C-alpha cells in the first residue's frame, strides 16, 4: 500500500443518504477475479443510461447528465462528500476498489458503514467522519460554480478547504498509523506467529473440539 | 477469589476476551478466528494475494468453501452458461485444490448458501469467532458465536494468519419482550427492529438479541433475526445459548461427538451474558406490537406493517430523509399513502440466507397448500438454501405443494437475492422477496423489491398483491 501523503483535491458532492455498496458497484461487476479495473463502473447504474456488463468498453456508453459524477466540474475530484451511512450493505471490497480506481482518495460523511470503512482503509482510502452541520456547510460550498478544493493533512488530522476555516478530524490511531506508513497488515501479523502459536496451544487444551480436523 | 470480583460480562465480552492473542499500543486486538467460510465472489483476489506473496493458509482445515452466488438454480447438468460466472466458480475450485481447502462443489448435495450450510453442518458452534467475506455472516451469531463479515483483504489476512486486527465494537442489547402475535415470524421481528432503530442504528455495535420473544424462536428463526443485523448497521448479532442451541448441534456432521460433545455442551451453557452485565445501548421492543412487515422503499428501514400505507414524504420533517423518501417512491413507482394491500406484484422470490431454511419453506408451503399463484404473477420461485434443505423439503412433500400451486422449485443458491445468476427482475418489475435487501437494482436493474416473511410472500403470490397473512 502507498503511504498516505498530504494532498489537495477537488470535492464531489453526492447528496444522498444510505448510499449502499450495490449502488457503488453493481453485482455484475463482482464476477471479476481481479482487484483492478472497477473504476469505469463506479456508480454504474446512476452514471450511465444503459445497462452495464463486465468486460464492456464504457467509453461509448450514454451518460446520465443528471448524475454528479458526470458533471465536468467534478471530473478530477479526489474527495467524495456524502451523507450518512455511506457504504452500507454488502462486505464487497470491490466498492473501495472502484472508488480508489476512479481516483478518489478521501471520503467525507457524517457516518460510514463499519465493514466498508475497514475495507476503505485497507485500500489506502481515508474515510473522515464530520458532524452533520459541518457536512451541510461543505455541501453548500461544494455546489458552487467553482469546485471546492480541500487540502487533506492526515498527519495533522486537519482539512483546509479553499474557502473557510480549517476543520479538525478524528481518526483511530492504528488506522492513521497504517495509512501514513502504507503498512501491510498481513506482514505485521505474521511477525506475531509465535504468539499466535502459543494462543493456539492454550486453546487446544481448553476447547479441543475446535481443533479437531474438520474435514469430513 | 479474584474471579468473583470481576464485573459481570456480556456474551460478546466473553467471546471477545477468549479470542485475544494480543493487544497493541493502539488498543487494537489481534483476534483469533476459529472458522472461515469462503465463497466464490469475495475470495479470488485473496487467494491471488497469498500466491503473489508466497504465503500459505495457516490452518486450511479451519476453512470451508462453497460456490453460491453465481450458481444456476435450474438445469444444473448444463453447467454454468455465463462464462464470467463460470470462471469465478472454477477459480474457487482451483484455489481450494491449490491451498488444500475443503469445497462443497456445485454437484455436492451439501452445496448451498454459505450461511445456511455452516450451521447445517455443525461448523458454526457457540463461543467461536466465525468470519466470511460476506456481510450476512452475522447469521451464525444465532449460535452464540461472534460472527461477522469481512472484506477480501481480511479474507486473505485470516487465511494467512488465522487472525484479524480489530478494535472492539460497542455492545447493544435489543430485547423483544412479551409474546409475538399469531402469524408473526422472525422476519417480521427483525424488520420491525430495523424500522425502529434504522439502518445505521447498530453501526459500530454488536447487537445481542434477548427477551421472551427471541427465546421462543426456533434456531431457524434466530438465524433470520441475526442475519439481518447488518441491515441494522451492526457488524454482528448474537443470541445466548440454551438447550435449543445444543439440541440443534447434536449429531451435526461437524459437531463434536460423544463425550467430547457433552464436554463442549457444558462449556456452551456458560456462554450467556451475566446478570447485570452492561451494554452501551439498550433498545426494548414490545413483541405484542409487531405486525406483519412489508418494506415499501429502497432501504430496509423503509418498512411498515401490512395493514398500513406508504408514508408521505411531505410529512417528514428532516429534509435529507424526506428527499430519500421521495427518491425511493419514484424508484419504487409508488404514490404516497397507497395502502400496502393495494400494491400488486409481478414476481415472488422465496429463499436466501435470511429465509431459505426448512422452517421457512414449511411456512410458505402451509400458505400455498391447496391454493394457486395468481394469474397476474408471472413468476413465483422457491429456492432452497442448501441441497440438504431441498432434500428435506422433498421428503416432506413440500416440493409437490409448491409445484401444484404454480411455484417453480429450484436448486440451491443465492439466486434472485442479488441476481448474479440468471434469476433476476427486469426494470419496473415488482417482487415480494424473502431476502434481506431492497436496494435499487439489487434484484436486477430497475427491479422493485418488497421484503417480507416467507408466509407473507406465499400469500402475496396467491393474491397477486400484499395481504395480511393473519387473515388469509
Ligand atoms: S442469499 Fe443473498 S444475502 Fe445471503 S449470501 Fe447470498 S447474496 Fe448474500
Query: Which residue ranges make up each domain of chain A?
Result: 7-147, 188-216
Q: Is B136 in the pocket of ligand 1 (CB under 6 A)?
A: yes
CB atoms A214 and B204 under 8 Å: no
Among A33, A85, A86, most B C-beta atoms within 10 A, so best to mutate, is: A33
How far apart, in whole angstroms, are the C-alpha atoms of residue A195 and residue B8? Answer: 28
DSSP state of A16: -
Which residues, 6 or more positions from B390, have their beta carbon under 8 angstroms from its beta carbon?
A: B384, B399, B411, B412
CA–CA min distance B424, chain A (Å):
12
**10 Å Cβ neighbour count for B97?**
10
CATH assignment of A7-147?
A: 3.20.19.10
A57-105 tens-digit pLDDT = 999 999 999 999 999 999 899 999 999 999 999 999 999 999 999 999 9
| Chain-chain contact of A35 with B48 (C-beta, under 8 angstroms) | yes
B353 marked as binding residue? yes
Residues 161-200 on A with a CB inside 8 Å of B are: 172-174, 177, 185-186, 188-190, 192-193, 195-196, 199-200
Tell me whether strands B29-32 and B20-23 are parallel, antiparallel or unpaired: antiparallel
pLDDT number for residue B419: 85
Task: State the Cα angle at B216 between B213 and B221, rounded to 5°.
Answer: 90
Q: Which long-range contacts (CB under 8 A, 24 or more apart) does A128-132 make?
A: A128/A152, A128/A159, A128/A169, A128/A171, A129/A169, A129/A170, A130/A167, A130/A169, A132/A84
The 3-state DSSP composition of chain B as helix, strand, coil percent (nearest 5) reads 40, 15, 40
Cα B36 to ligand 1 centre (Å): 16
For B187, the grid coordinates are 422476519
So what's the pLDDT on residue B238? Answer: 97
With CA atoms as reference, the chain B residue closest to A15 would be B320
ipTM surpasses 0.90: yes
Q: What share of residues in chain A are helix, strand, coil (percent, to 5)?
A: 40, 15, 45
The pLDDT of A9-21, averaged and rounded, is 96
Show Cβ contacts of residue B401 under 8 Å, excluding neighbours closer than 6 positions: B365, B368, B369
Chain B closest-CA separation from residue A78 CA (Å): 23
Ligand 1 atom, smallest distance to B436 CA: 3
CA distance B175 to B173: 6
| B394-415: burial string, b at 16+ Cβ within 10 Å, e else | eeeebbebbeebbbbbbbbbbb
Q: Which pTM does this prediction carry?
A: 0.93
Query: What is the per-residue DSSP string for B275-327?
Result: TT---SEEEEEEGGG---EEE-SSSTT-EEETTSB---GGG--SHHHHHHHHH
Query: What is residue A204's predicted lDDT score, i.e. its pLDDT?
Result: 95
Q: Tell me the three cell numbers of residue B129.
A: 469467532
In this structure, are residues A61 and A50 in contact, taking their beta carbons and an 8 Å threshold?
yes
Position A44 scores a pLDDT of 97
From the CB of B357, is ligand 1 less than 6 Å away?
A: no
CA nearest to B11, candidates B214, B289, B249: B214
CA dihedral B398, B404, B406, B408 (to 10 degrees): 40
C-alpha dist (Å) from residue B296 to B9, B261, B293, B300, B339? 39, 46, 10, 9, 10
* A 99-128 → B contacts, CB under 8 A: 111, 113-115, 118-119, 122-123
Tell me the three state secondary structure of residue B12. Answer: helix
Per-residue b/e over B3-20, b at no fewer than 16 CB within 10 Å? Answer: eeeeeebbbbbbbbebbe
User: Is B416 strand, coil or helix?
Assistant: helix
Do A172 and B167 make contact, defined as CB atoms within 8 angstroms? yes
- Alpha-carbon span B175 to B168, nearest angstrom: 22
C-alpha R_g of chain A:
20
Q: Can you give the pLDDT at residue A213?
A: 61
State the DSSP H helix or E strand holding residue A141, giving kind and residue range, or none if neither. helix A132-142
B450: left (phi over 0), alpha (psi -120 to 50) or beta: beta
Contact check, Cβ <8 Å, A30/B41: yes
Length of chain B: 472
Question: Which residues on A lie below 8 Å from B267 (Cβ)?
Answer: 207
Residues of B in contact with A22 (CB under 8 A): 418, 437, 439-442
Q: According to the model, what pLDDT value does residue B1 have?
A: 42
DSSP string, A60-121: GSPB-TTSGGG-GGGTT--EEE--TTBTBS---THHHHHHHHHT--EEEES-B-HHHHHHHH
> Rounded to a whole number, what is the distance in Å from the CA of A61 to chain B's nearest CA?
16
Per-residue pLDDT of chain B (472 residues; tens, 9 = 90+): 445 568 999 999 999 999 999 998 888 999 999 999 999 999 999 999 999 889 999 999 999 999 999 999 998 888 898 888 999 999 999 999 999 999 999 989 999 999 999 999 999 999 999 999 999 999 999 999 999 999 999 999 999 999 999 999 999 999 999 999 999 999 999 999 999 999 999 999 999 999 999 999 999 999 999 999 999 999 999 999 999 999 999 999 999 999 999 999 999 999 999 999 999 999 999 999 999 999 999 999 999 999 999 999 999 999 989 999 999 999 999 999 999 999 999 999 999 999 999 999 999 999 999 999 999 999 999 999 999 999 999 999 999 999 999 999 999 999 999 888 888 999 999 999 999 999 999 999 999 999 999 999 999 999 999 999 999 8
Specify whether the CB–CB gap between B113 and B90 falls below 8 A.
Answer: no
Ligand 1 mean position, distance from CA B450 (Å): 16
C-beta B353 within 6 A of ligand 1: yes
In angstroms, what separates the C-alpha of A48 from chain B's closest C-alpha?
12
> B467 Cβ partners below 8 Å, 6+ apart?
B306, B341, B456, B459, B460
Residues B398, B361 contacting (CB under 8 angstroms): yes
| pLDDT higher than threshold 80 for residue A212 | no
Q: In A, which residues are within 8 Å of B420 by CB distance?
A: 27-28, 30-31
Amino acid at each position: 500500500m502507498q503511504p498516505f501523503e498530504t494532498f489537495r483535491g477537488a470535492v464531489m458532492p453526492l447528496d444522498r443518504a444510505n448510499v449502499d455498496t450495490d449502488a457503488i458497484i453493481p453485482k455484475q461487476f463482482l464476477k471479476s477475479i481481479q482487484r483492478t479495473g472497477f473504476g469505469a463502473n463506479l456508480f454504474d447504474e446512476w452514471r450511465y443510461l444503459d445497462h452495464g456488463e463486465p468486460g464492456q468498453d464504457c467509453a461509448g456508453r450514454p451518460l446520465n447528465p443528471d448524475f454528479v459524477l458526470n458533471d465536468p466540474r467534478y471530473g478530477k475530484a479526489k474527495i467524495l462528500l456524502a451523507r450518512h451511512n455511506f457504504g452500507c450493505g454488502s462486505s464487497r471490497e470491490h466498492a473501495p476498489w472502484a472508488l480508489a480506481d476512479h481516483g478518489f482518495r478521501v471520503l467525507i460523511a457524517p457516518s460510514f458503514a463499519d465493514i466498508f470503512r475497514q475495507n476503505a482503509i485497507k485500500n489506502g482510502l481515508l474515510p473522515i467522519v464530520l458532524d452533520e452541520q459541518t457536512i451541510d456547510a461543505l455541501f453548500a460550498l461544494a455546489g458552487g460554480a467553482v469546485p471546492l478544493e480541500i487540502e487533506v493533512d492526515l498527519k495533522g488530522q486537519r482539512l483546509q478547504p479553499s474557502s473557510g476555516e480549517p476543520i479538525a478530524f478524528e481518526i483511530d490511531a492504528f488506522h492513521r498509523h497504517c495509512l501514513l506508513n502504507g503498512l501491510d497488515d498481513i506482514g505485521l501479523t505474521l511477525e506475531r506467529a509465535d504468539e499466535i502459536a502459543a494462543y493456539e496451544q492454550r486453546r487446544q487444551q481448553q476447547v479441543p473440539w475446535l481443533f479437531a480436523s474438520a474435514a469430513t | 477469589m479474584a474471579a468473583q470480583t470481576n464485573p459481570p460480562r456480556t456474551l460478546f465480552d466473553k467471546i471477545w476476551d477468549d479470542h485475544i492473542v494480543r493487544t497493541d499500543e493502539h488498543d487494537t486486538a489481534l483476534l483469533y478466528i476459529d472458522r472461515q467460510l469462503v465463497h466464490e465472489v469475495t475470495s479470488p483476489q485473496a487467494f491471488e494475494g497469498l500466491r503473489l506473496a508466497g504465503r500459505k493458509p495457516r490452518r486450511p482445515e479451519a476453512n470451508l468453501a462453497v460456490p453460491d452466488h453465481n450458481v444456476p438454480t435450474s438445469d444444473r447438468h448444463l453447467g454454468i452458461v455465463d462464462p464470467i460466472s463460470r470462471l469465478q466458480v472454477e477459480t474457487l475450485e482451483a484455489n481450494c485444490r491449490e491451498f488444500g481447502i475443503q469445497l462443497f462443489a456445485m454437484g455436492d448435495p451439501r452445496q448451498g448458501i454459505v450461511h445456511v450450510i455452516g450451521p447445517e453442518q455443525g461448523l458454526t458452534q457457540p463461543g467461536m469467532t466465525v468470519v466470511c467475506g460476506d456481510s450476512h455472516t452475522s447469521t451464525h451469531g444465532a449460535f452464540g458465536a461472534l460472527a461477522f463479515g469481512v472484506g477480501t483483504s481480511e479474507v486473505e489476512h485470516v487465511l494467512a494468519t488465522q487472525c484479524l486486527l480489530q478494535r472492539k465494537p460497542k455492545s447493544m442489547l435489543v430485547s423483544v419482550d412479551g409474546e409475538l402475535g399469531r402469524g408473526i415470524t422472525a422476519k417480521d421481528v427483525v424488520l420491525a427492529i430495523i424500522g425502529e432503530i434504522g439502518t445505521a442504528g447498530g453501526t459500530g455495535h454488536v447487537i445481542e438479541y434477548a427477551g421472551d420473544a427471541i427465546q421462543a424462536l426456533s434456531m431457524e428463526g434466530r438465524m433470520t433475526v441475526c442475519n439481518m443485523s447488518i441491515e441494522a448497521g451492526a457488524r454482528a448479532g448474537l443470541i445466548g445459548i440454551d438447550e435449543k442451541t445444543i439440541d440443534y448441534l447434536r449429531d451435526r456432521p461437524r459437531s463434536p461427538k460423544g463425550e467430547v460433545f457433552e464436554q463442549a455442551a457444558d462449556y456452551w451453557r456458560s456462554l450467556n451474558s451475566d446478570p447485570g452485565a452492561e451494554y452501551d445501548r439498550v433498545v426494548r421492543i414490545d413483541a405484542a406490537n409487531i405486525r406483519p412487515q412489508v418494506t415499501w422503499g429502497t432501504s430496509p428501514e423503509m418498512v411498515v406493517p401490512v395493514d398500513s400505507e406508504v408514508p408521505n414524504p411531505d410529512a417528514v420533517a428532516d429534509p435529507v430523509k424526506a428527499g430519500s423518501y421521495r427518491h425511493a417512491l419514484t424508484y419504487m413507482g409508488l404514490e404516497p399513502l397507497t395502502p400496502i394491500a393495494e400494491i400488486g406484484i409481478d414476481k415472488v422470490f422465496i429463499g436466501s440466507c435470511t429465509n431459505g431454511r426448512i422452517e421457512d419453506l414449511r411456512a410458505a408451503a402451509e400458505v400455498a397448500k391447496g391454493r394457486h399463484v395468481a394469474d397476474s404473477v408471472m413468476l413465483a420461485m422457491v429456492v432452497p438454501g442448501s441441497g440438504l434443505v431441498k432434500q428435506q423439503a422433498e421428503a416432506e412433500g413440500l416440493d409437490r405443494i409448491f409445484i401444484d400451486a404454480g411455484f417453480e422449485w429450484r436448486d440451491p443458491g443465492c439466486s434472485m437475492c442479488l441476481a448474479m445468476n440468471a434469476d433476476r427482475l427486469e426494470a419496473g418489475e415488482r417482487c415480494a422477496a424473502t431476502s434481506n435487501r431492497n436496494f435499487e437494482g439489487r434484484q436486477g436493474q430497475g427491479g422493485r423489491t418488497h421484503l417480507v416473511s416467507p408466509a407473507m410472500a406465499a400469500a402475496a403470490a396467491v393474491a397477486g398483491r400484499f395481504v395480511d397473512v393473519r387473515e388469509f
